[in-house]
Amino acid sequence: MGIGKIAVLIVAAIAAIGAAILVRGIASGSDASSVQIAEPTIIKEPTGLVLVAAEDIEIGQRVTPSQLEWLEWPEKALIKSYLTQETNPQALENYSGAIARVRIAQNEPISSRKLINSGEAGFMAAVLAPGMRAVAVEISVETGAGGFILPNDRVDIILTREIEVIEGAELRAVFVSDTIFKNVRVLAIDQTYREVDDEQVVVGSTATLELNGDDSQNLAKADASGDISLALRSIADAGFETAGDSRSSGFTSETSDQIKVYKYGKTSQVGLQ
């Protein structure tokens, strides 16, 4: 083979190798440019504003506006009982001043079952202090301090009754009055649970009072044995008693200075002088 032919073959081989390298480079460049890094897709879930507790709220606590707030809540996690801004735009204002029926933790959604407003069923039970009872007695303008007693005032309870006393050999009827309970909280007058703006007096026929269990029984006995009157106390007297403590001043249905007299088949209480 001639030198010329060998040179031609060498040149052809070099050209083939160069073409192969060129094709491979183009192919690899094309693949690299076609590869793209996929960015993560963030899907934002739809939310709604739910009324929640801004801080822990205890049972029986009166809620203030600062203890409630609107918080974003996933729509798929919404429950019908939740108070949302869409369905209850005035919920924050409407439930300010309500009473908590259960303990509510911070950021816990509020429902109408957890808070109760004045006048709603169950409100009185929520207002009562632990260990206390709500007892109603009949009053009038004369026995209710002229109508100037309002809910959350403090009163003394006075029992007036007629007894017979022995004077010599005769019996004489006299009226006696005793303060049987002191510093008692007034829960309501008739159906008025709280003082109304610009209202100076509440003239009602029934006063609901807060007493413990034993005092409630003694009040019922006193109410059956005579007439009950309420004496309004100074506002400065509020807060000196502990919830559950007795307000009794020593009243019993039968006092030590009285005896029972049986006359013509009838029984009467007779005071000793």
Q: Does residue 26 fall inside a structural domain?
A: no
- Last residue within a domain, chosen from 125, 156, 182: 125
Is residue 116 a contact partner of residue 137, using CB atoms and an 8 Å limit? no
Same domain, 139 and 256: yes
Highest mean pLDDT among 18-22, 144-148, 177-181: 177-181
CA–CA separation, 139 vs 143, rounded Å? Answer: 6
Q: Does residue 17 fall inside a structural domain?
A: no
Mean pLDDT (whole number) for 41-57: 86
Q: Does residue 110 fall inside a structural domain?
A: yes
From 257, 270, 181, select the one nearest 222 (Cα to Cα): 181
Same domain, 189 and 119: no
Tell me the pLDDT tens digit for each residue of 118-165: 766 677 777 787 888 999 998 888 788 777 888 888 999 999 988 877
Q: Does residue 24 fall inside a structural domain?
A: no
Is residue 70 a contact partner of residue 51, using CB atoms and an 8 Å limit? yes
Q: What is the DSSP string of 16-59?
A: HHHHHHHHHHHHHHHHHHH--PPPPPP-PPPEEEEEEESS-B-T
Same domain, 77 and 185: no
How many domains does one find in the chain? 2
Same domain, 112 and 139: no
Highest mean pLDDT among 104-118, 199-213, 256-270: 104-118
Same domain, 103 and 149: no
Same domain, 182 and 210: yes
CA–CA separation, 214 vs 176, rounded Å? Answer: 23
Q: Which of 57-61, 93-97, 116-120, 265-269 has the lowest mean pLDDT?
A: 265-269
Residue ranges making up the domain that contains 264: 129-271
- Last residue within a domain, chosen from 125, 144, 159: 125
For residue 241, name the pLDDT band (cuts at 50, 70, 90).
Answer: low
Highest mean pLDDT among 1-15, 146-160, 207-221: 207-221
> Residue 100 maps to which CATH number?
3.90.1210.10
- Kindly state the tokens that stand for 253: 């249905």
Q: What average pLDDT is seen over the chain?
A: 77
Same domain, 133 and 154: yes
Same domain, 58 and 149: no
pLDDT higher at 233 or 13? 233
Same domain, 104 and 135: no
Q: Does residue 30 fall inside a structural domain?
A: no
- Last residue within a domain, chosen from 76, 92, 125: 125
Task: Give first-to-last CA distance, the chain, whole Å.
Answer: 161
Is residue 98 a contact partner of residue 83, using CB atoms and an 8 Å limit? no
